[in-house]
Amino acid sequence: MVIKIYCRKIQPEPPELVRFSPIVYDKCMAVKQFTVLDLIDMDLKEHNSLNLHCIGGRKGLTKVIDIPDLNRPGLALSGFYDSFASQRIQVFGRGEVSYLRKLANEGKIDTIKQMFSFPIPCCIFTHNLTPDRGFFEAAEGARCPVLQTDLGTSEFTSRLMRILSEIFAPQKSIHGVLVEVYGLGILILGDSGVGKSETALELIERGHRLVADDVVDIRNVSGNILMGTGANRIIAHHMEIRGLGIINITHLFGVGAIRDRKQIQLVAILEEWDSQKTYDRLGSEDKVMDILGVSIPKLEIPVKPGRNIPIIIETAAMNERLKKMGYNSAREFNQNILKWIESDTARSVYFGQEDII
């Protein structure tokens, strides 16, 4: 089976039809165009909410935000524009607003007009602060949106940086199933029809939670954390079971059986049993899978009639948690075997009494 999807790039080019393998397929590494209007319309809750609304420059709401970073334009307002980070979002706190009022009282608006000669994506005022009329006129002339939030500057910048780093994080989509087992995010991969969804369904029945089925969107957050979500919020918690059809996990098992996102900490690859292949029986070798530059522990689980794959994945999750706590069963077993071989009793059994001097 060949999966076809459309990629959207930052450049205004027509979408390209891309072919991918049946297991893993990449989306464009560059995120789609993210505009100021998208920032305002983001559905953010509780500690992520930005409380943004537009108070001026509405004609520029379609401006694209290209850089996931912020700038405090204190030096620019004083007339120093060398190395001015104009392509970043400009944040105005109490100090910048006090200086703007001083410039307005002294009639020095040339500095403000000079600032808007640069390609600024938008200006954001914290603490519900509002600039003077001259600033609004300069922003309208430059088609630069002016936004306002009731959050403090420090709190707002920390929230916005966290959100932008996730939006602009490298990402890819993988054909598989993401479940949470004993608090561990497990990405189940395998060829079509090998039993990924059926395995996940049994895990949900056992009390674990589904994050996404069929297509998992993965983002590399902070350079070393892989966060997985469903490709589409509307259909993310639905499953396709061959012979049964589409089922709604939320309605069947309740909201406790799902979650929106989860860090990927283990990859389980299901494959048809191959009698000619030698499978790892000790687990002493740590196998990893590279996803977006992050190495994730990997298991290759052969599938054949009679094998209980869900309980194997449950055991793998508990064993991985033990490894993170510093206990490795395979290595301890290997060390115990070596100690047994080196002991006098083991040597007498191995060599025989006549070989001992």
Phi, psi of 173 (to 5 degrees): -115, 140
Residue 143 bears catalytic tag: no
Q: Provide the β-strand partners of residue 288.
A: 297
The one-character DSSP state at 355 is G
Write down the catalytic residue from 159, 196, 208, 219. Answer: 196
Matching residue, tokens 């069963």:
329
Determine which one of 26, 214, 323, 331 is catalytic: 214
The catalytic residue among 88, 159, 172, 175 is 175
Active site residue 214: yes
Reply yes or no on whether 102 is catalytic: no
Q: How far apart (Å, rounded) are the C-alpha atoms in residues 155 and 203?
A: 39
Q: Residue 282 gets which letter from DSSP?
A: S
Q: What's the token pair of residue 207? A: 């009390």
Reduce the DSSP state of residue 110 to 3 states and report it. Answer: helix
- Give the number of C-alpha atoms closer than 13 A to the C-alpha of residue 310, restricted to the C-beta side: 15
**How many Cβ atoms from other residues are within 10 Å of residue 145's Cβ?**
28
Rounded Cα–Cα distance for residues 319 and 310 (Å): 14
Catalytic residue (one of 45, 281, 290, 344) = 281
DSSP bridge pairs for 37: none
**Residue 357 to residue 351: CA distance in whole angstroms:** 11
Residues designated catalytic:
175, 196, 214, 281
